[in-house]
Every structure is written in structure tokens, then in C-alpha cells.
Structure 1
């Protein structure tokens, strides 16, 4: 186990550092980018047959001749839609003031349409709902939650208004109206934790550090949006087609209708995970399509069992990161230590690099496959710990190997029977082993190095032989069997035979 002590030291240390950095929000944007990419990679889902979008586009505005749409036009639109017997109608258009002509007609239509839900804005700068619908209790809010990068990834289920009353968002209100006729109602699963059950769907509120988020604003009851897709993932009809009676009744009957603007000029477009503007023009999703995604998520979850986006408890996420750190450290150590791989002549660093890339790729693939099942696992801390642990353990391994080699060399150096030394060209000893000191008659290598400061004059009987030695080293880079007579400390003379090779500094100097 001792040989693995580096792994057990490095893996937890790297994990602690990465998790500490993660708490600062340093990796939040990268986590969001990974989540966005998963949404874009996911196979396109079929349209939700329970929803129909009634869009107001630029052509509709040009045909009407003004924005906001006059009350008479809205009244006519709702009247025609109501005649086809939809299950619920959501008006995702703020309507706090009359827009003549036709206000009285619009009031009468609102009073006679019990399944019509209007909208208001609660957060930030409030916008009041249509007074008539407010008096009838047929109002929901249409506020959206923007992340720090300006994108929408969360859906707001409910909030408490200024009177501390729970108010539902438009998408949720419409879904509940639809499900009520299916005999499905909201049930409390855990009142303390605010967990709810709706058919096959299970609601768990978003917490500020869920998934890749760090200290997010978690006010109200929020969930992570599991988008069905963009506008083309929903059945749509234009307002002008409805007004011209070009939409079959069967296309409207018993469906949820969401009415809203898709025109750029109305400034009701938002960035979502489907925006990949790094290489393309930015794509912004109409607010009505975002509401449709929330409604569809609730319907398909309750009726079809389509998963919501879930996250692991924070301690489990930490454990996952720790496991990745151990994988990087232990895997790298195994590759570096493997005698079989060394015997096959495979370069350890090449194997290590390939293994790290493979492990990272498998981690990314694994988190994507888990995402398809409705789980969002943060990937950035896991990848970082895996890679950093692999790099750190490699550095540790080579430093350890170098220390062991130096220790081994020092043992050979100190215990050799032959003299071993290193000198400069101007005649100073840099190193000498005990055997050399003994041969020359000195008590220790230190005494030899301190005493002899000019090898040519103090050691060689014939100083010219030292010059010949230096010239050979400069010309050939090494020398073998170079014989000379030298003085021992007691001035007795002995013959020596030297083998040497040149060592150069960073400037190429001998």
C-alpha cells in the first residue's frame, strides 16, 4: 500500500481544491454551456398533440396595422377559438389598458370565456392583468427567470404575491386545467420539503446550488426546464389564419391554446439553451414558446412519465468528484508503474495522455446518457479533478523516481571501489567520492575538494598532462584510459588511469 500513498494523498487534495473553487461559481458558465449542448444534441421530440400555439407574427401585425393588437381583434380571435371548444386558452399578451376600438366587446368576450387565462407581470416592474379577468380570478403570471448569462433554463411554477397568496404561472395553470378533466390533481407528497405529485410527475423545488448552479436566486417555486424544443416542436397556427377561418375545428378542439407574439418587433424573445451563437447568429425563443415548453413538460410528465430534470444531493456530487479524482490518480499511477507496458516498449506518457483523453470522453458521454434519462450531473469539477490528478500524480511519480535514482546513484558513488569525480576546466573539484579521497591520501572527499584548488599544479606531476586531458575532452567529448602520474597528499607519486566524458552547461560551455 505504501507505493500508492501518493494516490491517497493527491486525489483528496485535488478534490478539496476543485470543490472549493466550485463554491465560488467559477465553473458555473461552463456547466451551463455543457447543459445547453446536451439539449442541442438530444434527438428532436415529436410535437405535443395537447398544445396548439396561436402566434402573432410580423405579418399579423402588418395586417392589423398596429401593436398592441386592438381589443376588437382580440375579441374576434377568442370568439372564433372558443367556438372550437378548446380545453384551455392562455393569453400570453400583457393587457393592462384598453386598446380601442372594441374594448366593450373585449370585456364581454372575457366574461363569457371561463377557460380563458390572462397574464400579468409580478417580478421587477409589475404589469397589471386585464381588470375583467382579474375580477373573475382568471389570471396567472408570465414572468421568466434569466440566468446570469441571460438565458432561461428554469421555470417558475408559483410565487407568493403581495398578499402572501400562492399564484401559479400561466404554463402551470393551463396544464392543471387540462389535467383536471383527466381526473389528475396535485397531491402533497412531502409538505415539509414541498414535494408534490401530479399523476406520474413528481415535483421537487429547485435549490440555489442544484446541478451546476452556485448560490442562484431560488425564490418562488422553481424547477429546471426540460425543454421539448423550439417553435417547430409545437403545432402552430397564425392569428390571421384563425381570423380568416382557415384553421379546422378539429385542430383546436380539446387542446390547450397559447396565444402570444413571435414577432421580433414586440421584444418578447429570450435566449435559451438552443442558442449556440458561438458560430451562428443568436437564436431567441418567443416567450409564448417558453410557456409552451413548461406546459408540455408538466403534461407529458403527468400523463406520459416523461422525466423532469433531476440533480443529485450535494454530498453525492462531491463523492462523484472524489471518485473521478481517484480514477485520474490511480489510473495514471497504474500506467506509469506497469512493467508489462514498459516491457512492450509503450511510452508511459503517451499511454497516460491517451488514457486521460479516453476517460474524459467517457465521462462526457456518460453524463450525456444520464441526462437523456433526466439527470443533470455537473461535469466540470469531475473532469478537472480527473485531469489535474493525472497530471499531479505523473509529476509526483517522476519526482519520486528521480529521488530514488539519485539515492541509488549516491549509494554507488559513495561505496564504489574506484575513484569517481567531477571537475571544472580551471582545476576545481566539484564532487569526489570516498574512494578517490582514499586513493589520493585524504581523510575525506571534503578535505580533497577543499585542499586541491588547482589540479594542474597541485596534483599532476607533469602539468602538461592536465592540458592534454582538457584538450582531449574538448575535442572528443570523452576519454578512456588516460594515464598520468599524480602526487598524493604525502607527496608520494602514483600512476592513475582516467575515464571521463564532457558535461556542458546551458550555454554550451564545458
Structure 2
């Protein structure tokens, strides 16, 4: 587990570095902005703000110049006389402030003098266009600039420029813009400040940071080049993230014709902010917003409605109804990305089943998206795509590493134990590989096992009578048959000794219970008897091919041994060490001339004790085995007990 956490941590750091590099050059910004737009739409579609998708601000009224108004007036824009009449009509209902989102830098006769008279009202704010200088420190400040109406006081002028992202979507509000000589205030902020003035709410420096704007209950933290998911943002001026109030209608909307015909209710206007602007498509004052991708008909929002969205945001922030968006510092975002990468790596290390791993991957993506959206509902914008990519890359890297490690371990296990194991033992070994393998080796462990040695009687004489090629083919045929029998009885072939072999029953998994040791001894003797039957079949086949028949000897002993890796990195094998191995070997070679049957099977009393009368045996008495000081009780296995 500790190794898994270490691997996940290191992998998380490496993947985070790669993702941050990709993020730094802006490679993830388009995806992050699309996710941002999706979250904006989800927030309104599901009513998660507590309001309907179109909850008009009762403090605002939009007087829109529609396509029908243009057809009625027979003009592309209202004349000064028409505009003057509309303003006069609205003023009689005592609005708190009127914002004129129409350019009047040149007269639109008839009625210019009438309009000039109406523009003298202290509660009317006109617009200017800063052109490319708005929110862009690299632009020509004189290009596309439109001045306010002639002689209009600067304190009642607001610019109506928007800052637009590279994909053409408005996601930001520009509160202040700076030119070489002065600082300009936006129309929406001018309107909000004028509305809040009777409540004695004025802009002031934030207590947390004097450089930030404090308005009533909220501080507006300006966007920086790396705020949220932005990475290459031109943050000149004073910009904040636009907190949209509604999908389409942030305020009550009435047409210019309704105002002129006095088809309005006084309470719609009294003490309200009134915005007058063009909504007709022919006016070409339409913009893409985060809602555009989800709209079926109206894909763009009129500029005057966007201003209403901004005004509503400022008012709500000042009164504490809706706080502005907040962002993490860069180091916090790095930790956020690294945390998800590390968690995903840990999950990939812990979960091994493919289906469970797939479900875990989907769950992790859901958690990342859910956490990002949950913070978004709390006015926080944090990266979502970056941690998702880091998570999947980390998960995939750990899975690939585990696959490579598994392949290496498999090769190691097969090198150590050989390929001559039963499927059951192979599965057990593979499932326990993490416990068995330590530092690339099988650590030594003491256990009780049953050893089986075989040898061919008179092999030297036979080998003298056959060409080497034929001898090798004949010997391989014999060993293949014996190997098959060992596999069938759940043994492991430890080594081939020319014409013989050593098989072990009960390794490398420790046998913790007595009944398991008994079973190993039983399987070893049963395997020897099956070898005898198989040898009988082989002799019949070989006689038909004019090959010599043979006899074989088997020695079996059950006792303690130490098993583990022998050798170094260049050459390593699975070693079985202990006196029990020597005893089994001596049993096989004991009294070689006393070959009473085709396959002679000799066991010691230590093995006989474990099989509990399941086999018919013949006692050969206590014998002095070569190299052994003590006598060993030896028995010949005749067959299964009847």
C-alpha cells in the first residue's frame, strides 16, 4: 500500500507538471471556457440559483427599439425628436436614472434641440465608445472611438464597450478602462452607482486590498492573466467575471412604441434604472454569451440587455444578494490539479479489476465535474478540464506501469518457478505476486513440502545405444509426459537433472494447515503412481517404434525446507534447500538393483504419516541412506488402498 501511495504521488507530480505546461501555453483554455459556459447554462436550466431561468430584476427596465419600431418609424434609428419624446415620457414617472445606450455624437434631425434639452437632466447618462482601447492595452486608442453627445458632462458619460473572449463570447465585465490621460467608467457601473447613491453606497478601496474596488457588501477582485481557467488574458483595465442574472431577460422589457403611446404602468419606471437601447437585429448590436450554444432561436443577446445583466450584478453585489465570482491563486490551482492526479493514481494502484477500474474512472470524472460545479454555485471558478485530464493521464500512467510491472513480475516468476506448474498454482502465484516478490526476488521462507525425485534405470546404457539427436527427442518425450502428470497433481518442477527431475508439492505458497501438508503428500504419491501408468503406455509406443522400454525410480519425502531465490540479477533460479531434499534424492537411489516393478516408488515414514492409510505400502524396514547418519524407515508404494 505504501509503495502504491508513493507511486501515485510521484506520478501525480509528473503528470501535473505536464498538464500545467500545456495549460500555461493556453492549450486548455478553450475547453475550460466551454465547460464554464456549460455550467452557466446548467445553473439556470436547473434553477439552482433559486430563481427561474428568466427572473427579471425589479429595479431595472429596458426600453428596447425593436424591428417593429424601426418599421413604424421608417428609420434605421429613432430621430432626436422621437428620442426626446420618449425620454420626456419616462421622466414624468420619476425614474432614478436613465441610461441612453444610443450614440448621439451627431444630430439626428429633426428634433436635435429638443433632445439637447432632455439631455440636461441630472439623472441621464449617455454613452461613448472607446473603441479598441477598451480592455486592450495593445490597441490604438483612437481607432473606432465615438465621443459622447457634444457638451455632455464627463461625470455622466459611460463607455458601452465590451471585452470579448477570443471565441467571440462575452464572459467579462469591464468596469474601468484606462487611456493615456484618464480613467473611464463603464455605462453599467455608472448606472449602478447612480442608483445606489441615495442609499449612500459609493465605491471605496477594499479593506483586504486597497487596490480592489469595494462596493457596499462586496469587493470586486479584478481578473488577472491567470484567473480561473484563463491563461493568456489581457487583463488591462478593471475587469471582473460577468455574473449573468438570466438567460434572456434580466429586466422587464418594453418597446419604444409602448413608451411613445404611453402604454406603460408608472410603477415600471418610478425609482427604477431605465436603459434605452437597440434590440433589433438590423441594429447589429448583438453578442454571443455563454447561453448562445444552448439557445434554439435567439443565439445572441442585444448589447442593452448585456448592460442590464451587468447593472443587476453590481446592484446585487453591493446589497449582498449575489457575491462576485472568486478565483484561487495559481499555487492553489496547482494543488487542486495535483491532488486529483494523485488520487486517481492511488485508485489505479488499488483497483485491479478492469470493470471496477472503468467505473472508478467514470466516478472520478464525475467527482471532478461535480466539485467544480459545486464551487461554481458558490461563485467560485476553478479549473475543471485540467484536473480531469491530469486524473485520466495519471490513472492511465499507473495502469500502464502496473501492466509493465506485472509483465516483468510474470517473467520473473516464470523464470524462477518454470513454466511447468498447474493452472491452479499459477493463478495462486500470480494473485500473491506482490506479497511473494520483494525487491525483485522471492524472499527465503521456511515451510513444509513434499519432494519427488525421479530417475531412469540404466539410462547410461541406453544413451550409448542411441544417436544424440534421437536420444534427445526420446528423452523429451518422456519428460513431457512426466511433466504433464506433475501438473495434473498440482506440483512444480524445480529442475530437470538429465534423465530425471525434481518436483515439489506445497510451494511456493506456505501450507499453514496440517490438512494442506497431508494433501501435498497425497498428491505426490498419486502423481508417482500416475507416472508408472504413463510409463507403461510409453513403453508400448516405443516398442512399436523399436525403441527400448525403460524402468524408473521415484523417491518421495515430506519435511521442512527453505525456498526462495538463488543467484543474482543476471542469473537467478528458485532454490529448495534442506535435508528433506537430500533424503528424497537418497530414497530414489536407494538399493538401485531392487527394482521389483516398472515404476518403483519409495517413501519415508514421514510421508506415510501424512497420507493416513490411503495407499497400500510394503515396508522395507529401516535403511541407511547414503550420506545419512540415522536410519530411515522406508516403504514401497504398491498402489491405492482398497
TM over 0.5: yes
Q: CA deviation at 1:82?
A: 1.0
Does the Cα contact within 8 Å between 1:85 and 1:252 map onto a contact in 2? yes
Give the corresponding residue for 1:119. Answer: 127
Determine helix, strand or coil for the equivalent of 1:308.
coil
Maintained 8 Å contact 1:119/1:141? yes
The answer to whether 1:384 aligns with 2:389 is yes
Instruction: Find the residue that maps to 1:460 and give its secondary structure.
Output: helix
1:147 aligned counterpart, secondary structure: coil
The residue that corresponds to 1:228 in the other structure is 245
The equivalent residue for 1:101 is 110
**Structure 2 CA distance for aligned equivalents of residues 39 and 196 of structure 1:** 25
User: 2-side partners of 1:248 and 1:3: how far apart?
Assistant: 70
- Give the whole-Å Cα distance in 2 for the aligned partners of 1:179 and 1:22: 40
Aligned runs of 1:6-25 on 2, under 5 Å? 6-25=7-26
Partner SS, residue 254 of structure 2: strand
Larger radius of gyration: 2
Gaps of at least 5 residues in structure 1 are 337-347, 417-437, 440-455, 471-479, 485-492, 498-510
Alignment match, 2:150: 131
Give the secondary-structure state (helix, strand or coil) at the position aligned to 2:470: coil
SS at match of 1:352: helix
Task: Please give the alpha-carbon distance, in whole angstroms, between the structure 1 residues aligned to 2:164 and 2:305.
Answer: 15
Q: CA deviation at 1:196?
A: 2.1
**Which SS does the other structure have where 1:159 is aligned?**
strand
Q: How does 1:222-301 map to 2 (within 5 A)?
A: 222-276=239-293, 280=296, 283-301=299-317
Provide the C-alpha distance between the structure 1 equivalents of 2:282 and 2:467, rounded to a whole number of angstroms. 96
Seen in structure 2, the aligned counterparts of structure 1 residues 457 and 90 have a Cα distance that, compared at 3 Å, is: farther
Give secondary structure in 1 for the equivalent of 2:104.
Answer: coil
Q: CA deviation at 1:9?
A: 2.2
For 1:390 and 1:466, locate their aligned partners in 2 and report how far apart those are by CA, in whole Å.
46
Q: Which residue of 2 aligns with 1:367?
A: 372
2:331: which partner in 1? 315
Alignment of 1:383-462 (within 5 A): 383-413=388-418, 458-461=468-471
> Cα distance, 1:412 vs. partner?
1.8
Question: Which residue of the partner structure matches residue 60 of structure 2?
Answer: 51
Task: For residue 190 of structure 1, report the CA deviation from its aligned partner.
Answer: 5.3
Alpha-carbon distance, 1:404 to partner: 1.4
d(CA) in 1 for partners of 2:154 and 2:383? 45
Paired residues of 1:93 and 1:261 also in contact (CA < 8 A): yes
Q: Deviations over 1:457-504 (max 9, x none)?
A: 74214989999999xxxxxxxxx87959xxxxxxxx99699xxxxxxx
Determine whether 1:212 maps to 2:229. Answer: yes
The TM-score normalised by the length of structure 2 is 0.63
Pair 1:350–1:53, CA change in 2 (3 A) = same
Tell me, yes or no, if the aligned pair for 1:460 and 1:466 is still in contact at 8 Å. Answer: no
**Superposed, which structure 2 residues align to 1:80-229 within 5 Å?**
80-111=89-120, 113-124=121-132, 125-133=144-152, 135=153, 137-163=155-181, 165-189=182-206, 194-229=211-246
Contact map agreement 2:250 2:309 (CA 8 A) in 1? no
Distance 1:100 1:400, change over 3 A: same
Is the deviation greater in 7-16 or in 39-48? Answer: 39-48
SS at match of 2:292: coil
Shift in CA distance, 168/483, structure 1 to aligned 2, threshold 3 Å? same
CA distance in 2, matches of 1:413, 1:136: 91
Distance 2:170 2:55 in 1: 22
* CA-based RMSD: 3.0
Please report the TM-score for the alignment, with normalisation by the length of structure 1: 0.79
Q: How far, CA to CA, are the matches of 2:246 and 2:472 in structure 1?
A: 92
Report SS of the residue matched to 1:276.
helix
1:197 and 1:203 in contact (8 A); partners too? yes
Pair 410,85 (structure 1): closer, same or farther in 2 beyond 3 Å: same
2:640 aligned partner: none
Distance in 1 separating the partners of 2:351 and 2:396:
13
Q: Which runs of 4+ in 1 moved over 6 A?
A: 462-470, 493-497
| Aligned counterpart, 2:491 | none
Alpha-carbon distance in structure 1 between the residues aligned to 2:147 and 2:201: 31
Aligned equivalents of 1:167 and 1:194: distance in 2? 17
Number of residues paired by the alignment?
Answer: 431
Q: In 2, distance between residues paired with 1:3 and 1:30?
A: 31
Query: Which secondary structure does the structure 1 equivalent of 2:13 belong to?
Result: helix
- Structure 1 residues 160 and 82: CA distance shift in structure 2, 3 A: same
1:79 partnered with 2:79:
no
Q: Deviations over 1:111-142 (max 9, x none)?
A: 2x111111111032111111132x46421100
Q: What is the deviation of 1:413?
A: 3.2
**Distance (whole Å) between structure 1 residues aligned to residue 396 and residue 208 of structure 2:** 48
The 2-side partners of 1:185 and 1:299 are apart by 12
Deviations 1:312-361 (A, max 9, x none): 1110010000000011001121122xxxxxxxxxxx01001101101211
Partners of 2:172 and 2:239 within 8 A in 1: yes
With over 3 angstroms needed to count, the CA separation of the structure-2 counterparts of 1:201 and 1:460, relative to structure 1, is same
Structure-2 separation of matches of 1:92 and 1:413: 85
Matches within 5 A, 1:302-381: 302-336=318-352, 348-381=353-386
Q: Secondary structure at the match of 1:132?
A: coil
Between 1 and 2, higher relative CO (CA 8 Å, sep ≥ 6) is seen in: 1
Confirm or deny: 8 A CA contact 2:54 2:248 kept in the other structure: no
Cα offsets for 1:417-450 (capped at 9, x unmatched): xxxxxxxxxxxxxxxxxxxxx99xxxxxxxxxxx
The answer to whether the 8 Å contact 1:194/1:205 transfers is no
Are the equivalent residues in 2 in contact too, given 1:200–1:301 (CA < 8 A)? yes
Q: Residues 311, 3 of structure 1: CA spacing in aligned structure 2 closer, same or farther, 3 A cutoff?
A: closer
**Superposed CA offset, 1:31-71 (max 9, x none):** 11111111111122622111111111101111111022110
